[in-house]
Homo-oligomer: A and B are copies of this chain.
Amino acid sequence: MRKPLLLLTALAAAPLAAQMPPPKPGDAPSPTEIVTAAPKADWAAIDPKDLLVMDLAPDDKGRARRVVIQLLPPPFSQGWIGNIRKLAAAHWWDGLAVVRVQDNYVTQWGDPDGEDKAKARALPKGLVEVPQSEYASEANQRSICGAPRSNDETYCVQAEPGIVFATDDLKLDIYANSVGFDHGWPIAFGDQKSWPVHCYGMVGVGRDMPPSTGTGAELYTVIGHAPRQLDRNIALVGRIIDGMEFMSSLPRGHGPLGFYDLAQGDERVPIVSVRLATDLASDKTLPAYEYLSTESASFAKYADARANRRDPFYIRPAGGADVCNVPVPVRRVKP
């Protein structure tokens, strides 16, 4: 059920204002300190069923490179995510590679021979073709809060009480009518739809020219400034929650679009394996993960502090933050 509400910004921001007297620069905790002090109750477990574990070949010094991806929850991108689960179950990525690293844009992995029909690795059976309409979802299936561009009112669409959150300082977005956070994910809203957004570390589905929407076999992650122009043009399926540095610090490719060009001395980075975490039960080294609940008071304080730095290093709070400049905190916990 959809309940559009129009609230004055001052009202929407009241819970935040009640927690945060207006401090001057220098006398408030930093975002990191707020996260560190957050009570256990403000952290939410990440379901291991949503985790994908990619082991790259060890680096030049023999150090392991493990990358952990959290897949998006419903209603977002479930067709592609179903494909990805099948690809992982089939061990499809094993022995393939990181094929592209374009500076300030993306790191991409999949089949280096994917464009060559004679050499491309066969896809497992049962993958579905997902329509472009699935780039966004019906807004009434999710709940986010934000403000239209051109006035000072906050617009909320609530499915159930208590799961809506957006700070007054996040009311502006250049790419959508509004943005907010829902169950730990940055979400945009407009045209009666909602969709996940291309922030640093988000994982999306490479595709050919439209109407191709990609299968999920070719994936990328954002390693630079948020390329929000890709929102709703390509499927987002998750984000990297551990090991991001192994993707962002790879050598850039010298071919067009940053593809690795072996003729120019580039070397692809081999993928040893990609598994669903639930298929790694015997691997006792795999931690559990929690995210700072975006519906919690701690996240409200954290987002406010990202938008208004009042800790001692700062002399002038910005007065706002864009949605990708408020990364949702994730931590390892003992399983």
Contacts and interface: CB of A to CB of B under 8 A. Distances in A.
A149 B172 contact: yes
Interface string A309-333: 1001111111111101101000000
A322 B209 contact: no
A317 B231 CA distance: 9
A211 to B, nearest CB: 8
Interface string A165-185: 000000011110000000000
B174 A321 contact: yes
Contacts of A248: 103-104, 223-224, 248-249, 252
A227 interface: yes
Contacts of A151: 150
A91 interface: no
A245 interface: yes
A278 interface: no
A225 interface: yes
Contacts of A306: 229
A200 B224 contact: yes
B315 A225 contact: no
Interface string A18-57: 0000000010000000000000000000000000000000
Given A315-B210, A315-B233, A321-B174, A225 B226 contact: yes
A312 to B, nearest CB: 6
Contacts of A79: none
Interface residues of A, number: 53
A60 interface: yes
A233 B103 CA distance: 27
B314 A200 contact: no
A244 interface: yes
A309 B250 CA distance: 28
Contacts of A312: 209-210
Nearest to A253: B245
Nearest to A149: B172
B325 A228 contact: yes
A129 to B, nearest CB: 16
Contacts of A110: none
Nearest to A244: B103
Interface in A198-251: 199-201, 209-210, 223-229, 231-233, 244-245, 248-251
18 contacts: A103-B245, A104-B200, A104-B248, A104-B327, A174-B322, A175-B322, A200-B224, A224-B224, A225-B226, A226-B325, A227-B325, A229-B318, A232-B315, A233-B313, A233-B315, A233-B316, A248-B248, A322-B322
Given A104-B201, A228-B322, A232-B316, 19 more contacts: A103-B244, A103-B245, A104-B327, A172-B174, A199-B225, A200-B224, A210-B314, A210-B315, A223-B248, A225-B226, A228-B325, A229-B306, A229-B317, A229-B325, A231-B318, A232-B315, A233-B314, A245-B251, A248-B248
